[in-house]
Amino acid sequence: MTVATQLDQLCINTLRTLSIDAVEQAQSGHPGTPMDAAPAAYCLWQRYLRYDPEDPNWPNRDRFVLSSGHASMLLYGLLHLGGVKASNPSYEQADRLAVTLDDIKRFRQAYSRCTGHPEYGWTSGVETTTGPLGQGVATSVGMAIAERWLAATYNRPGYDLFDHKVYVLCGDGDMMEGVTSEAASLAGHLKLANLCWIYDDNHTSIEGNTRIAFTEDVAARFIGYGWHVTRVADANDLEQLTCGYNTFIDTRDRPTLIIVQSHIGYGSPHKQDSNKAHGEPLGAIEARLTKEFYGCDPDVQFHVPRGVPEHFREQFGNRGAVLRADWETLFAAYRKQYPDLAGDIDCMQRRDLPEGWDSALTIFPADAKGMSTRDSSGKVLNAIAEKMPWLLGGAADLAPSTKTRLNFEFAGDFQAPGMAGDYRGRNFHYGVREHAMCAISNGLSLSNLRPFAASFLVFSDYCRGALRLAAMMQIPVITLWSHDSINMGEDGPTHQPVEQLASMRAMPGMMVLRPADANEVVEAWRVIMQIKDRPVCLVLTRQALATLDRTRYASANGVSRGAYVLAYAQKLRPDVLLLATGSEVALCIAAYEQLKTEGIDARVISMPSWELFENQDQAYRDSVLPPEVTARVAVEAASSFGWERYTGFGGAIIGLHTFGISAPMKTVMQHFGFEPAQVVAAAREQVMRHAAKP
């Protein structure tokens, strides 16, 4: 065995023992996958990964995604031994390592950078938050799409600014999840040759051997998707692994799946319960025996042998430093020759908006017939996207219905070469793959593009895993949900959203906007485009809504504060407050006009975004919802859950407590009481009840 081979094995075993010790000390976590997948990850990082540990945010770095998030200690070991530096704002010291040995010793403990599953934004070098299986592989498709788009859009002869690759370590659990199938199918269709999934095929799940539930031919399945599939028979053979990675590098017309045959917890001849090795710490006796098998001192914990960090620095570190320096020299020359394009790239990296991004936005004239908010949103989206080249996206086979197609001349369709479109296209066709669409959008956003994704609101249920991670990662993904209520009518309760608005509002870090007319849509988009640190759900109607006369009612720029007084009472203290979002604002306006003839002084409050409103200071909130006015009516054609915070328990809520019915829209609305007369009646009752109180 050569010195280099000995060092390779020492590095691999150090990754393994750090995982063993961290899990053992925490008495929590999974040591099995880090042990059996260490050679595959080590080979990739040391021999292939284009990544500068001094700058983990270098735009043209290769991406490494640990989709098997339960194997987080493998990634933390790589970040530590590879000398990756801290770069995230969450670090108090920017010059420290992303993962220190002390962090590893405090694995899964409060404030450690080594959380139970990798968390983007908390630990430098973590490209995306993973944990729910299938999310990492699906997100990686977005990253691969982003590279193809960036290369096609910004590379020029002699200037290959973007040519990075996306690698993913995944496992049996990922392969079983439905979102994986959606994403893999689309990746094959798009011929994403820059994408490589490394499948750690260890036949183990929490309940035991995967044969109890998973016996399909994964290779045949991926060949059917249009992937190139290659196998590595021995997970510990670095030369076989090298051949597998070379196969990926040489494959230019499709993504690659490398199936690595392994045995979880591989190494210890004493381990009988391989399931326990996956789901639990090894235990003191087995940890000792496993270390002895690896030739490591069983009496030493968290040991990093001399020469291991140096070996990583000589290969992984030095290669990345040279590549980044060369790229920066290239980009400096590119900037001189193509200053406008370089400016776009700079804007993207900072998540800034280009100058004049909103210059084509206009005010919609008052119109009793109006238009649906999906239609007005489509017009606004196109006006902004024409000025902002990296605003792109699509729908889950519903662009004609969600009005999310970019129609200007140079928008194009994102497709593999040889199809009707190319990699410069900004219209994505996701097919009927809602969950993959949202996970892919996360990957696009993590690559600093500004993606939008669209479907019907009821189908947001299919996307919750990806939406939740977007909120957790605080990334500005835009999701557009049309067909927003029981106004869907004849399509019936399966397509009529009821609980979706409440569930979106319950998600920490998610912003929900439900505008009431075309001008509120314009202002909602102004808000959305300036957000850098959270995802947004823009909820839109299918049916036409009147465009309000803003000479009679307040300006729509109140949307920026989440809620605003749309129609004022004549008295300083109103008799009753009418609160609503979206299409139901019009019901409140109609009720307001009727109540005025009856001598009841109402105030109408449009509340398109609870989250924005809650971020306002108390003085503003009290100016909109005066605490002394307790007679209140809230109206929303959705679950009433949550409105009590604004009406109080003595207020009235006209909402839904059941699923919808299949009938024409007007019949459905009458059936559930969404009519001006019902709002008027509720307002009268509120005024009488609260006037009677001492």
- In this structure, which long-range contacts are made by residues 618-626, counting pairs with CB atoms below 8 Å and at least 24 apart in sequence? 620/561, 623/565, 624/563, 624/564, 624/565, 625/563, 625/577, 625/579, 626/573, 626/574, 626/577
Is-contact 589 566, C-beta < 8 A? yes
Q: Can you tell me the distance from the alpha carbon of 380 to that of 414, in angstroms, rounded to the nearest whole number? A: 21
Q: Can you tell me the distance from the alpha carbon of 172 to that of 681, in angstroms, rounded to the nearest whole number? A: 58
Q: Which two tokens stand for residue 55?
A: 């700058």
Rg of the chain over all Cα atoms, to the nearest angstrom: 28
Q: Which two tokens stand for residue 506?
A: 């319950």
Q: Can you tell me the distance from the alpha carbon of 118 to that of 128, in angstroms, rounded to the nearest whole number? A: 7
- Rounded to 5 degrees, φ, ψ at 628 are -75, -15
Q: Can you tell me the distance from the alpha carbon of 535 to that of 477, in angstroms, rounded to the nearest whole number? A: 5
Q: Can you tell me the distance from the alpha carbon of 440 to that of 560, in angstroms, rounded to the nearest whole number? A: 28
Residues forming a β-bridge with 455: 481
- In this structure, which long-range contacts are made by residues 203-212, counting pairs with CB atoms below 8 Å and at least 24 apart in sequence? 203/172, 203/263, 203/264, 204/32, 204/172, 204/264, 204/274, 204/275, 204/278, 205/172, 205/173, 205/278, 206/275, 206/278, 206/279, 207/275, 208/275, 209/275, 210/172
| 286 classed as catalytic | no
Q: Which two tokens stand for residue 49?
A: 């990964």
Is-contact 469 508, C-beta < 8 A? no
Which is it for the CA torsion 174, 414, 460, 633, positive or negative?
Answer: positive
Residues forming a β-bridge with 606: 564, 580
Q: Can you tell me the distance from the alpha carbon of 42 to that of 47, in angstroms, rounded to the nearest whole number? A: 8
H helix or E strand, kind and range, residue 13 = helix 3-26
Is-contact 106 66, C-beta < 8 A? no
One-letter-per-residue 3-state SS of 372-402: EHHHHHHHHHHHHHCCCCCEEEEECCCHHHH
Question: Which of 31, 26, 28 is closest to 15 using CA atoms?
Answer: 31
Q: Look at residue 652 and give its three-state secondary structure.
A: strand
Q: Which residue is catalytic, options 119, 177, 386, 434?
A: 434
Q: Count Cα neighbours of 113 within 13 Å in the Cβ-side half-sphere.
A: 29
H helix or E strand, kind and range, residue 580 = strand 576-580
CB atoms within 10 A of CB 171: 30
Q: Which residues are catalytic?
A: 434
